[in-house]
Amino acid sequence: MSRLGRINEGNGCQVPNPYSVRSIAGVHFSQPATLNCGMVAPVHDWMENTVQPAAGNAFGERVVSVDIAASYSCRPRNNKRGAKMSEHGYGNALDISAFTLESGKKVTVLGDWGGGKDGRFLREIRGEACGQFATVLGPGSDRHHRDHFHLDLQQRRSGKAYCR
């Protein structure tokens, strides 16, 4: 994990304290993720206290890497022009599309959401992410999230998490 210079693209996209994260809690990232410093601790805690115990229960092994679909990205929500800025534009969001275990087995959000042991693992870690993160989206949320989990720390006046 290394500290990056402040990001400010002058169009609303900005990350005051960005880090480039290559792994977290011993879990390797498929590509370095640029995250606001506030995201680092919740992602670490979710990996360590939710994802690893769930993988241990479901498969008897640890998750060694995750496929990162997106992190910091200067774009409106769902890439829709005119839409509100995505939390990705603040480095405040992480998209994960797959989890790889020690044995090499890969559990993908797109392919394994359906059911069985893999699906139960995915449902459990998604469910537990709600509250640890302010927003949790995935298959069933809308057509943009069928192949990944979106986790972010959007601040809402209600203080309530949005998980669907």
d(CA 122, CA 107): 8
Rounded to the nearest angstrom, the gap between the alpha carbon of residue 155 and the centroid of all alpha carbons in its chain is 16
> Whose structure tokens read 């992190």?
71
The residue number with the shortest CB distance to Zn ion is: 150
Residues that contact Zn ion, how many (by CB under 5 A) = 3
In the shown chain, the binding pattern of residues 129 to 158 toward Zn ion, with x for contact by CB under 5 A and - for none, equals ---------------------x--------
The residues in 35-54 that bind Zn ion, with binding defined as CB under 5 A, are: none
Whole-number minimum distance, CB 43 to Zn ion, in Å? 13
- The nearer residue to Zn ion, 101 or 148, going by C-beta atoms, is 148
Binding residue (CB under 5 A) for Zn ion from 27, 71, 95, 122 = 95
d(CA 144, CA 44): 25
Asked if residue 96 lies in contact with residue 125, where contact means CB atoms within 8 angstroms, the answer is: no
Which of 50-58, 90-98, 111-119, 153-161 is the region at the interface with Zn ion (rule: CB under 5 A)? 90-98
94-106 b/e (C-beta count within 10 Å ≥ 16 → b): bbbbbbbbeeeee
Helix axes 116-129, 37-46, angle to 10 degrees: 140
**112 part of the interface to Zn ion, by CB under 5 A:** no
For the chain, what is the total number of helices (H) and then of strands (E)? 4, 11
- The nearer residue to Zn ion, 78 or 103, going by C-beta atoms, is 78
Whole-number minimum distance, CB 88 to Zn ion, in Å? 6
- The nearer residue to Zn ion, 55 or 94, going by C-beta atoms, is 94
Chain residues that interact with Zn ion, rule: CB under 5 A:
93, 95, 150
